């Protein structure tokens, strides 16, 4: 898809913006999912319970079979899910604008605005967004189109290219047709559609290539290969759109060894203390924010996202977009609760056409029926 055509497609398929009119919003955190990042999602949900204390939070757990459970807040502990205790809790089904708990003689209905906290498949691939749009359920999180372009690392690069944002050169390898690799050593191998640095390997010798590809193909049928730049500086910036304004977090320069591996990223999912801002001058901060704003655009309205960047020779490169960052990147904000409250008041609402059957009525009238 060429860049101008891609931009037109994005404008057409982004969630249509209207100011969300809810005042006393009942916020429910949705977590779990059928994903390699299922357990990480649980850790994120437990962390947000401690961060959003001014909310009367509800918790909806999606198990690996896509059954939804309304979780008692007092039971929001990792062992509740590891032990299977959650299965004793109310089962929820979806209806138009509602979640329902069917009892023996009655049906209890709940109206929630949902914070989508399912990492990886289901939550970040567009499945949940499409489901909620279908049932007209309000949610914080990426819409379907935003999910498509952020979940697959290849599509993220196409999006960035269409916006004039730099990314590293890459090539793609496929599980059923691995050909010669043209990227010089050392390089990094990543599954195309997975986060949290799962399945990622740094390859420094030819003898390591097959093993690195095998690891990546355990998680996806395709992998991307990028140059590995020793000691490259990485920066994280989160934010969301509220009306015409972007609410930016601080910019963090995370500490790492070769790269931010799973163990270090896993700690992010349980982080609750505020991070330290990177040592950057105002001009550089403004450059990061400008690039973030271009990426966010209208496409990610309704979501709090985190963009991870490289800085190489004073040039900024997009590494990846996290449409549902670990613990919602709460640690990057001075007042995370206020950000969520503001975002809730500016959620996009998808406009739905009203069917009037005028065409069928006109045909029937013409036929005298």
CATH number at residue 266: 3.30.470.20
Average pLDDT over residues 127-145: 97
* In a shared domain, residues 181 and 300: no
Residue 262: per-residue pLDDT: 46
Domain of residue 318 covers: 149-166+231-344
Q: Which residue would you say has higher pLDDT here, 103 or 269?
A: 103
In a domain? residue 353: no
Q: What percent of the chain has pLDDT over 70?
A: 88
pLDDT exceeds 70 at position 59: yes
Domain CATH for 58: 3.40.50.20
Measured in degrees and rounded to the nearest 5, phi and psi for residue 353 equal: -70, 145
pLDDT at 42: 97
Taking a C-beta distance cutoff of 8 angstroms, is the pair 221, 175 a contact? yes
Q: Which residue has the higher pLDDT, 274 or 325?
A: 325
Q: Residue 74 carries which DSSP code? A: G
**Mean pLDDT, rounded, of the chain:** 89
Over range 295-318, report the average pLDDT.
97
Pick the closest to residue 188 from 220, 151, 213 (CA basis).
213
In angstroms, the Cα distances linking 89 to 44, 60, 75, 236 are 20, 10, 10, 38
Mean predicted confidence (pLDDT) in 177-200:
88
- Within a 10 A sphere around the Cβ of 110, how many other Cβ atoms? 16
* For range 157-167, the mean pLDDT: 97
Q: Are residues 68 and 158 in the same domain?
A: no
**Pair (271, 318) in one structural domain:** yes
Judged against a pLDDT cut of 90, whether residue 351 lies above it is answered with: no
- Does one domain contain both 203 and 240? no
In a domain, 359, yes or no: no
Report how far residue 355's alpha carbon sits from residue 139's, in angstroms, rounded to the nearest whole number.
Answer: 25
> Is residue 9 assigned to a domain?
no
Proportion of the chain in helix, strand, coil states, percent, rounded to 5: 35, 25, 45
Do 183 and 200 lie in a common domain? yes
Cα–Cα distances in angstroms (integers) from residue 65 to residues 23, 62, 115, 246, 263, in the given order: 34, 8, 20, 37, 27
Distances (CA, A) of 264 to 118, 198, 204: 19, 11, 21
- Work out the widest C-alpha separation in the chain, in whole angstroms: 79
Residue 61 inside a domain? The answer is yes
**Same domain for 271 and 158:** yes
Specify whether 81 is located in the same domain as 65: yes
How high is the pLDDT of residue 194?
80
Question: Do 245 and 155 share a domain, yes or no?
Answer: yes
Residue 350 lies in a domain: no
Indicate whether 159 and 304 sit together in one domain. yes
How many domains are contained in the chain? 3
Cα separation, 99 vs 43, whole angstroms = 24
Whether residue 269 contacts residue 40, with contact meaning beta carbons closer than 8 Å, is answered with: yes
For 209-236, write each residue's pLDDT tens digit: 999 999 999 999 999 999 999 889 999 9
Q: pLDDT band for 178, please (50, 70, 90 cuts).
A: confident
Q: Is the pLDDT of residue 304 over 60?
A: yes
Residue 270 has pLDDT above 60, yes or no: no
Does residue 201 share a domain with residue 295?
no
- Strand ranges inside 77-165, DSSP E: 91-95, 98-102, 107-110, 113-116, 139-140
As a whole number of Å, the end-to-end CA separation of the chain is 47
Same domain, 37 and 125: yes
| Whether pLDDT at 11 is above 50 | yes
Of 231 and 164, the one with more pLDDT: 164
**79-103 tens-digit pLDDT:** 999 999 999 999 999 999 999 999 9
pLDDT > 80? residue 168 = yes
Confidence of residue 18 (pLDDT cuts 50, 70, 90): very low
Average pLDDT over residues 149-165: 96
**Domain assignment of residue 35, yes or no:** yes
Q: Is the pLDDT of residue 62 over 80?
A: yes
Are 155 and 281 within one domain? Answer: yes
* Contact partners, residue 42, CB within 8 Å, separation at least 6: 31, 32, 78, 81
- Tell me: pLDDT of 58 over 90: yes
Please name the residues in contact with 9: beta carbons below 8 A apart, sequence gap of 6 or more: 1
Higher pLDDT, 2 or 363: 363
362 part of a folded domain? no
Helices 3-13 and 144-151 sit at what angle, rounded to 10 degrees? 140
């Amino acid at each position: 898809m060429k860049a101008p055509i891609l931009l037109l497609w994005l404008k057409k398929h982004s969630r249509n913006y209207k100011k969300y009119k809810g005042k006393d919003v009942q916020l429910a955190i949705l977590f779990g999912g059928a994903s390699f990042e299922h357990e990480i999602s649980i850790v994120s949900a437990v962390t947000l319970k401690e961060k959003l204390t001014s909310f009367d939070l509800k918790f909806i757990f999606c198990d690996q079979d896509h059954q939804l459970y309304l979780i008692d807040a007092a039971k929001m502990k990792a062992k509740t899910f590891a032990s299977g205790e959650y299965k004793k809790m109310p089962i929820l089904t979806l209806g138009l604008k509602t979640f329902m708990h069917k009892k023996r003689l009655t049906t209890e209905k709940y109206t929630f605005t949902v914070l989508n906290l399912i990492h990886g498949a289901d939550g970040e691939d567009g499945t949940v967004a499409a489901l909620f749009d279908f049932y007209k359920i309000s949610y914080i999180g990426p819409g379907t189109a935003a999910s498509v372009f952020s979940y697959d690392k290849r599509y993220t690069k196409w999006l960035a290219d269409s916006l004039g944002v730099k990314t590293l050169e890459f090539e793609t390898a496929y599980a059923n047709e691995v050909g010669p690799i043209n990227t010089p050593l050392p390089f990094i191998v990543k599954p195309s559609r997975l986060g949290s640095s799962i399945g990622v390997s740094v390859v420094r010798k030819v003898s390591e290539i097959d093993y690195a590809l095998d690891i990546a193909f355990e998680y996806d049928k395709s992998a991307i290969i990028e140059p590995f730049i020793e000691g490259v500086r990485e920066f994280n910036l989160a934010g969301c759109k509220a009306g015409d304004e972007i609410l930016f977090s601080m910019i963090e320069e995370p500490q790492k060894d070769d790269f931010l591996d799973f163990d270090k990223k896993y700690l992010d999912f349980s982080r609750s203390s505020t991070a330290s801002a990177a040592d950057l001058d105002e001009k550089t901060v403004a450059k990061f924010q400008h690039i973030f704003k271009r990426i966010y655009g209208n496409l990610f309205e309704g979501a709090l996202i985190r963009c991870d960047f490289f800085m190489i020779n004073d040039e900024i490169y997009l590494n990846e977009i996290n449409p549902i960052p670990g613990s919602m990147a709460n640690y990057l904000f001075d007042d995370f609760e206020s950000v969520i409250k503001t975002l809730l008041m500016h959620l996009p609402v998808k406009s739905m056409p009203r069917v009037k059957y005028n065409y069928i009525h006109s045909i029937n009238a013409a036929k005298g029926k």
